[in-house]
Amino acid sequence: MRGIWRLALVSALAVVAFAIALVNFKTVPARECQMDAVEDASFSVEFLTPFSVDPTTHTLRVTRNGAPVTGAQVCMRADMGGMGGMSGMGISNVATETEPGVYDVPVRFEMGGYWDGTVIVATGTRKPVEIPVPIEVK
């Protein structure tokens, strides 16, 4: 009897751990990165960190007509899908502003190669803007 209860407990814990893992996995493509967005050539983004597998956080500067975009909700996603790429390999996260127009986003390019990146900028006053960023990770 004891053995069965232990087994039941271990099974229950496994189910809970699995459920937590599943929930965490599902929240990885941050909601903010799924926003319906439009392209707008007046916005641009510049990466201040190198496209390499080393950094675990990337710093980016967001500008509109050359002026810093401050107080925005910024999110970045990148996928290795596409031509000969590895479909299903993706990263995304929400950025935090560290100085006016400069945002840190905790993402790591897990491997070298071509990543199809998108930075989404929501200022709240207009439709969110998406900025395509082709990324060649060294």
Q: Which of 35, 53, 86, 135 binds Cu ion (CB under 5 A)?
A: 86
Q: How far is the CB of 116 from Cu ion (least distance, A)?
A: 12
CB of 89 vs Cu ion, minimal distance in Å? 4
Mask: binding to Cu ion, 17-56, rule CB under 5 A, as x and -?
----------------------------------------
CA distance 66 to 30: 28
| Count of residues in contact with Cu ion, rule CB under 5 A | 4
Six token digits for residue 112: 């070298």
Q: Which of residues 56-85 bind Cu ion (CB under 5 A)?
A: 80
* Per-residue binding letters, 98-117, with Cu ion (x by CB under 5 A): -------------x------
Q: How far is the CB of 74 from Cu ion (least distance, A)?
A: 24
Q: Of 109, 88, 93, 105, give the one whose Cα is nearest residue 32.
A: 93
**Full DSSP string of 18-76:** HHHHHHHHHHSS-GGGG---B--TTEEEEESS-SSSS-SSEEEEEEETTEE--S-EEEE
Nearest approach, Cβ of residue 104 and Cu ion (Å): 23
Q: Which residue, 43 or 109, has its beta carbon nearer to Cu ion? A: 109
**Shortest separation between residue 53's beta carbon and Cu ion, angstroms:** 10
Residue burial 20-42, b: 16+ Cβ < 10 Å; e: rest: eeeeeeeeebbebbebebeeeee
List interacting residues with Cu ion (CB under 5 A). Answer: 80, 86, 89, 111
